[in-house]
Amino acid sequence: MADETAEVGWDVVFTDPGTVGQINCPVCLAPMSVERNQNVSASWAEAMGGKKRPNDVWRCSSCACDWHHQVKHLRQEMDNTASPTLRGILQNDIDQILRTKEGES
């Protein structure tokens, strides 16, 4: 079941088959689930070229949740700012969302 809003490197991670035992979601830090040895295009270039190869496909089970999208966008904003002050404010927002996410979708 593919989430059309999932972003590679954030909600979905590809690794060579059998090389990684566990990955935590870069957004919410929860353990990601894995589908091993899937024949997929793991990059834009592979998809454009019609190339597929075996990969382990890691997905966060919360990637379709509203709070997960919000945290992802805040983390992306953190990556794009040069300001340590803004990074601190964004991290505080992230921490608050992750503390209160229980029971939300």
Can you tell me the mean pLDDT for 13-24? 95
Nearby residues of 55 by Cβ (< 8 Å), 6 or more positions away: 14, 15, 16, 17, 37, 38, 39, 40, 42
Q: Give the per-residue pLDDT at 2.
A: 47
Across all residues in the chain, what is the average pLDDT?
A: 91
Q: Give the per-residue pLDDT at 102.
A: 63
Q: Please report whether residue 5 resides in a domain.
A: no
> Distances from the Cα of 103 to the Cαs of 12, 65, 72, 77, 93, in angstroms?
22, 10, 18, 25, 18
Return the higher-pLDDT residue of 3 and 5. 5
Q: Please report whether residue 7 resides in a domain.
A: no
Q: Please report whether residue 19 resides in a domain.
A: yes
Same structural domain, 24 and 55: yes
Same structural domain, 86 and 51: no
Range of the domain at 36: 12-59
Number of folded domains in the chain?
A: 2
pLDDT tens digits for range 41-79: 888 888 899 999 999 999 999 999 999 999 999 999 999
